[in-house]
Amino acid sequence: MCGATDGDVMKGFVEMDAGDAPKKMPLPVVVVSAGDGKRMNGMTAAWITQVSAEPPMIMVAIRKSRYTWEIMKDTELFGISVLGAGQKKIAEIFGTMSGMDTDKFGEAGVEPVMAGDVPLIPGSISAFVCRKGDVFEEGDHLAVFGDVIKAWAGDDSRPLMWYDWSIKE
């Protein structure tokens, strides 16, 4: 028994609303992408995590209303491009514009690297293609699981991070 009291444990902390807690969790900034042979799109996401090492698997949270999900829901594969230093503008374009009426790749000046029908962001610190697995609706997002089936390493720049509801370089 360590003998610490609640008061001891809480020294140095300021209580906050539980709804604000996720703001204080740093997360990588990625572009989730999909294509179906006729259309392609990508969206910025930060709610992503590794869930298994063997087999390699990730989970990304996506709103059902996103155009990227509209494409992803009927495809087997999707892409993840982990953005690095110098790619903040790409993150902002892919995160603020709708692919329904904007070619985000063109707007960002990005010629995607194609892995089959899956577009990936060149210059990313890593990129991978995932086979879509289970999808669960939780709260206001879908939890989309993906088995990583192909992966590439890019440069060794620092990753962009999502912290306190903004992108940090």
Distance CA 96, CA 99 (A): 10
Any domain includes 42: yes
Enclosing domain of residue 96: 25-168
Distance CA 152, CA 169 (A): 22
pLDDT value of residue 5 = 60
Along the 169 residues of the chain, how does pLDDT read in single tens digits?
455 566 566 777 888 888 888 888 899 999 999 999 999 999 999 999 999 999 999 999 999 999 999 999 999 999 999 999 999 999 999 999 999 999 999 999 999 999 999 999 999 999 999 999 999 999 999 999 999 999 999 988 899 999 998 889 8
pLDDT value of residue 25 = 87
Residues paired with residue 59 on neighbouring β-strands, in sequence order? 49, 145
Classify each residue of 126-139 as buried b or exposed e, where b means 16 or more C-beta atoms within 10 Å of its C-beta: bbbbbebeebeeee
Give the CATH number of the domain where residue 99 resides: 2.30.110.10
Any domain includes 20: no
Amino acid letter, residue 57? M
Q: Enumerate residues 6+ apart whose C-beta is below 8 A from 153.
A: 125, 126
Any domain includes 131: yes
pLDDT value of residue 58 = 98
Amino acid letter, residue 51? V
Task: Provide the number of structural domains found in the chain.
Answer: 1
Distance CA 74, CA 1 (A): 53
Any domain includes 119: yes
Any domain includes 94: yes
Distance CA 97, CA 79 (A): 19
Any domain includes 57: yes
Output the pTM of the full model: 0.90
Any domain includes 102: yes
pLDDT value of residue 6 = 60
> What's the half-sphere exposure (Cβ side, CA atoms, 13 Å) at 51?
15
Distances (CA, A) of 42 to 69, 83, 97, 148: 9, 13, 10, 18
Any domain includes 92: yes
